[in-house]
Each structure stands twice: as structure tokens, then as C-alpha cells.
Structure 1
């Protein structure tokens, strides 16, 4: 109820007629203030006129006035600048740590809003606001989708900055780790990130002209050159496989040279996975891409279009893996190029967010704008979230839209955070 009361205050859903304090003084709300989602008063820099005097300060909202003291605000100097307290039930005086008595207003949530909110929370169908989506104004939808895309890129920026810090400030290494994580395509994402953090890129750079050595280093650090990591039914054949043996010897040399320790191969998941997604295949593709030097940050920053990014990031496996999916088992020859759909996802989830984050780091708004523009050039994703919204009448025309819809579901719908959602606002309007 408190969150809904804050919502009503924020959107000026105030009672009709003259608003008065509990002492009978006339109140005019000039500015409801800026909502605070962190610790401290609920609204900053509000402006209210009480009995003819204009007050500028903070506003605190509770379901009951007695919660002010129960929450310790009467002893917290952070609340000393509160100029108005709003509550549904006024059952106590409100006093600051300085002993100043705060003016109070009793306010109810409009019954229509409360009823609509209850309908949202109790709706079993998903999303609960499905009924109004077809009637939404196109401009409203467009502005909300743009905001959601920006939010998603900002969240990804925070993840990338965290990786930069973990990589000792290296944006090049953070790009490699982000790329690797997304080569896991969800299922092996965590394992790929752990693997990438375990790759000594400064040491690997000395061998970047030798694709065989890089593949040995990459597969070895993944723990996949240990005989125990080979499925038992293929193990005997793998031990007789010349390429497997050569890779093992090369990795032993590199591991000794650079004091390397492989990760536990048990971290990799294979169950119910298509063979082209096996970590062996993805690591071979990454090894070839790394040796090509096309995926360097400096090259990506120069890209002006989605097509240029895709051209840089397109890759295939090394020759051995054209006829294998794992050691000891052969398959029909195939270049196993990164598919068009997979390449689209790599650009969406790696290249564009890294360029956006790098633009933020350099305070280069043009670079950030280019990243956003490239996102809208990319084909929309085809996943259950996008299809769900499409069934409700909310379609995605490009990857920027599909990323926005993913943000909408995971950050707002899944958390039932309808009070911060623009569609939720339209639903809650008095109808």
C-alpha cells in the first residue's frame, strides 16, 4: 500500500478540493519532487505551500504516521529536511531529530487506482496488462521502448565495467571476457566467463600468429585436453588421436612456460545441447577469431554499421573441428561457421554493449549514439519473450526493440514492478 501511495503522490493523484494538513492548514502541492529509490526520504526537492508559506524540501510517505518513529526517522538527521509527511492513517505526531514537528497530510489512494492495481496483481495470464496493449498510443510505446533499451545498455555497461576492473583496467581483456561469455549462449555462459578470466592474454599475445598454439592454450585452460574430460565411449579413440595428443603436449609446454592451471572441465554442460554448441566448437571459433585480430576493440570502434561488425566477428572452426564435435568422434565435414542467428546475438550482446560502455568511459556521446544506431540495424531476436509480447500486440521491429522487451519482462514484469512501468501507468489510470 505504501508503494501505491508513493505512486499516487508522484503522479499527483491528489484528492479533489482543498488539501489540508491535520492541523487544518491549506496545502498546495507545487512540485511533488524527485522520487528517491535509495535510502532516505521518498521524494527530494519537493515544493509545497502551507498556509501561504512556500517550503522546499523532502517528502516522506508512510501507510501510518507511527511508522516514522518505528523506522527510526525521528533519530536520523537524513530526515531533518522533510517538510511534509503524507500518510493514509495519521496515528502519531512526526518529529525530526532536531525536535521540529513536521506538517502532515492524510491521503488515500484513489479507489479506482487501487482496484486496477489489485487486478494487475491477481491476473493469472501473462503479462497481466495484456488487455490494454493493443490500445496503447504508438508514441507512448515508442518512448517507453527507447527508455527500456537505454536501461538495458546501462545495466550491461555496469557488467562490462566490472569486468574491466577485474581485468586490471584492460578494455581489450574485458571485451574478450564478454565475448566469451556470450559464446556460451546462456547454458555455458558462466563457464565461458570463468574460462576467459583464466586465459593470460598478455602471454597468449606472444603466440597469436600460431593458431595451433592458441587452440592448445584455449582448450587446455578449459580442462578439455585432460583424458578424463573425454566421454568414456570416445576415450580410447581420443588417446590414439594424433591431434589430441599434439594439443596435449603443446599445452603442457605452454602451461609450464606461463605457470598455467586449467579450470575444472566439470563446469562445462553438454546435456541436451546441440553439438555445434559444444564448448570445443565454440572455443575453436574463438581461437580462430582471436588469431585473426579482427575482434580487437580498435577495429570494433571504427565500425559504422551492423554489417561491418558482423564482417569482423564472423568466424569458423580450425580444420580438425570441421570433422569433429569432440575428441575421438568423427562427423561429416562442415566449416561450422558461426551461424547468422548466432552472429546477430554476438553483435547484440557483445559488440554493441562494449562500444556503448566504452563510449560512456570516454565520455564520447557520438560513440554511444552509434552503438544505439547499430542496435536498431540488427534483426530482432527470435525467443519466447519476443514471441510472448508479439501475441499481446507489442511487436519488435529490430534488435533494439527486442532488447527493450527483454528488459520489460525481466526487470518489470517478473518483479511485478508495475508501478514503475509506463504500461502499468496506463493500466492504473482512472478509467
Structure 2
């Protein structure tokens, strides 16, 4: 109820009849104010006329007037400049910390707003607004998709900025950690990020011309050169594998030389994971990228096009892994290249946000514009989320579109946060148009 009152006040979906205080004074809302999501009154700097006199101040909204006392506002001076207390039920008068009575108004929720919101909450089919999308104007959808795209890119930019701080301002390290995280492709993203943090790239740089030593450090720091990392069912044959023993011996030497300490092998998830996504395979691909100098930030920022970027990510595994997915168990020979689809995912989740974050950091619009251009020119993701929204009538052509849709699902639909969604706003505020569809 209170959330809906907030929504009505913010979006000015007021009842058709005149609004008056509990003393009968006429209310005319000039400006509902700025919504405050932090501590303090709900809306700042509102402008309202009360019986023709202009008041400027804050607005507080509650389900019941008595919630004012329940939340301790009568003892909090931050609420002394509330010019109007908007409530769903006026069950008692309220006062400030100075003992002054606060003007109060009981605001009725329009029937169609209440009904439409209830329909969204009760809808069984996912997403709740599936039948609304075909009736929305292209302008509404385009503006909302643009906002969602910006939200998602902003979130990724903030995450990269935090990594940069953790890496003491090193863009090389922050980029590699971001790249490694996205080599986890969701299932092992957290493990890959934890692994990248303990890699000690300056130490590895001393052995950058030796792919075997790079792979030994990479796999060792991942905890995958320990016997407990191997499934007990295959442990005997794996621990007797010549390449495993050679890597393990090399890692022991390098550990002593650089004082290395890897992550726990328990962080890796193998359950229902396709063999080509096993950490051993992804780490070998990353080792080759690093060995060939294709995992460096300096090379990334020189790329001008999608084709340039795809070239640097065209990696494969080392020879041993061409015939293995895990230690000691042979498989059909395959180069196990990073697939085109996987490269697109890396571009989307690593390259684009890193370039955008770097442009922001350097205050250089060239990198920001290059990032947005890549987003618009990359094909849309093909996954369950995009297919679901396409079935609802959404036009999804580019990666910018698909990223907007992913943001919509994760940050709004999954949370049933319909009151912040512009699609649902168009539905909730109107009366009658939904009936035409049903």
C-alpha cells in the first residue's frame, strides 16, 4: 500500500476529485519533489499550494498516519520541515519534535491504479507484463531500453572502478581480472575472479616467454594441481599422469621462488558443466592469451573494430588439453578454440565496459564512443531471456538491446519491482486499455 502511495505521489497519478487536508484545506501539487531513497523524508523540496498559499518543503508518506510515531519521526528533527504528511488512512494527528501539528492528507488510490497493479502482481505467466508490450509505443520502448542499457553499463563500470582501486590503479591488472571473471561464463565467475586476484602477474611476467611455466602457475594458483582437486573416482590415473606430475613439480619450484599461494579447489563448480567450460580448459586458453601478449590492456585499447578485438581473442589450449578435459582422462583430439559465441560474450562483458570505464577515468570520449559503437554493432545475445522477450513482442537486434533486456529481467522482473518499470507505468496509470487486449 505504502509503495503504491509513493508511486502515485511521484508520478502524479492523483485521484480525479479535489485533494484536501484533514482540515478541509485545498491541496494543489505544483512539484511532488525529489524522491529520497536514503534516510529522511520521502520527498525533498516539494512545492504545493494549500488554500492558495505556496509551501516549499518535504513530504512524508505512510500507509497509516500512526506510522509516523511508529518510526519515531515525532522525535527526529529531520522531519520538522515536512509540509504535508500523505497517508492511506488518517487514523490520528501527528506532531514534529517541536510539538507542532503536521498538515495531513488522506490520499485515495484511484481504482484503476489499484486494479492494474494487483493484476501485475497476480499474473502467473512470466514476465507479468507479457501482454502489455505489443500495445506500447515505439518511443516509450526505445527510451526505456536506452535507460536500461545505460543502467547496465553503469553497473559494470562501477565494478571495474572498484577492481581498479583494489589493483592500486593498475589498468593492466584490473583488465585481466575482469577478463578472467568473464572466462567463468557465470557458473565459475566468482572463482575466476578470486583466482585472478592471487595470480601475482609481476611474478609471472618473469616467465612470460615460457608457456609451460605460465600454465603451471595459472593451474597451480587455481588449486588444480592438488590431488584433492581431482575427483576421487579418477584420482589414481590423474596423479600418475606425466603432464600433471611435471606441472606439479614446476609449480612447487615457482611457489618456493615467489612465495605463491593459490585458492582452494573447492571454489570451482563442475556440476552440470559442459567439458569445454571446465576450469582447466578455460585457464589453458587464458594462459595462451597471456603468452601471446593478447591479454594485455595496452593491446586492447589499440583495437579499433570488432574484427580487431576478435583477432586478439582467437585463442586455443596447449597441446595436452587438445586430448584432455581433465588430468589423466583422454578425449577426442580438438584444438578447443574459444568459440565465436564465447568471444562475443567476452567482448560484451569485458571489452565494452572496460573501454567505457577507461574513457570515463581518462575523461576521453573516444573510448566511451568506441565502447557504445561496439555495443550497437555487436549482434544480440541469443539466450532464454532474449527469446522470452521476443515472444512478448520486443524487437531485439543488437547487443545494446539484449543487455537492456537482461537488465530489465534481473533488476526489475525478478524482483517484481513493477513500480519502477516504465512498461508497467504505462499500464498502471491508464484505465481501460488493458481490457481491449484481453
- TM > 0.5 fold call: yes
Could you list the per-position Cα deviations for residues 345-367 of structure 1 after superposition, in whole angstroms to 9, with x for gaps in the alignment?
A: 11111111222222333333443
Bigger CA drift: 283-292 or 33-42? 33-42
Deviation of the 1:267 alpha carbon = 2.3
Deviation of the 1:383 alpha carbon = 1.3
Q: Distance in 2 between matches of 1:111 and 1:244?
A: 70
1:365–1:65 Cα change, 3 Å: farther
| TM-score normalised by structure 2 residue count | 0.93
Aligned partners of 1:84 and 1:104 also within 8 Å:
yes
Matches within 5 A, 1:79-228: 79-228=79-228
Aligned partners of 2:178 and 2:350 also within 8 Å:
yes
1:139–1:293 Cα change, 3 Å: same
- 1:430 and 2:412 correspond: no
Deviation of the 1:336 alpha carbon = 1.0
Could you list the per-position Cα deviations for residues 180-224 of structure 1 after superposition, in whole angstroms to 9, with x for gaps in the alignment?
A: 111111221222112111211121122222211111100111121
Specify the alignment match of 1:56 in structure 2: 56
Specify the alignment match of 1:318 in structure 2: 318
Aligned partners of 1:76 and 1:97 also within 8 Å:
yes
Q: Distance in 2 between matches of 1:241 and 1:91?
A: 77
Q: Distance in 2 between matches of 1:422 and 1:277?
A: 37
Could you list the per-position Cα deviations for residues 216-250 of structure 1 after superposition, in whole angstroms to 9, with x for gaps in the alignment?
A: 10011112122343344544444443322221221
Matches within 5 A, 1:16-31: 16-31=16-31
Specify the alignment match of 2:15 in structure 1: 15
* 1:130 counterpart SS class: coil
* 1:55 counterpart SS class: strand
Q: Distance in 1 between matches of 2:73 and 2:185?
A: 47
Could you list the per-position Cα deviations for residues 103-129 of structure 1 after superposition, in whole angstroms to 9, with x for gaps in the alignment?
A: 222211101100011111111111111
Q: Distance in 1 between matches of 2:237 and 2:105?
A: 80
Aligned partners of 1:183 and 1:192 also within 8 Å:
yes
Deviation of the 1:94 alpha carbon = 2.8
Bigger CA drift: 416-425 or 327-336? 327-336
1:343–1:52 Cα change, 3 Å: same
Aligned partners of 1:386 and 1:395 also within 8 Å:
no
Could you list the per-position Cα deviations for residues 65-109 of structure 1 after superposition, in whole angstroms to 9, with x for gaps in the alignment?
A: 111121111222222222221112222223222333322222111
Bigger CA drift: 194-203 or 118-127? 194-203
Aligned partners of 2:198 and 2:221 also within 8 Å:
yes
Q: Distance in 1 between matches of 2:304 and 2:411?
A: 30
Q: Distance in 2 between matches of 1:413 and 1:350?
A: 25
Matches within 5 A, 1:32-431: 32-232=32-232, 234-428=234-428, 429-431=430-432
Deviation of the 1:255 alpha carbon = 0.3
Deviation of the 1:269 alpha carbon = 2.2
Structure 1: tracts of 5 or more residues without a match = none
Q: Distance in 2 between matches of 1:369 and 1:33?
A: 34
| TM-score normalised by structure 1 residue count | 0.95
Aligned partners of 2:160 and 2:357 also within 8 Å:
yes
Specify the alignment match of 2:435 in structure 1: none
Q: Distance in 1 between matches of 2:376 and 2:216?
A: 38
Aligned partners of 1:306 and 1:375 also within 8 Å:
no
Q: Distance in 2 between matches of 1:300 and 1:41?
A: 47
Q: Distance in 1 between matches of 2:49 and 2:416?
A: 35
Q: Distance in 2 between matches of 1:19 and 1:193?
A: 55
* 1:98 counterpart SS class: coil
Structure 2: tracts of 5 or more residues without a match = 433-438
- Pairwise CA RMSD: 1.8
Aligned partners of 1:27 and 1:51 also within 8 Å:
yes
Deviation of the 1:307 alpha carbon = 2.6
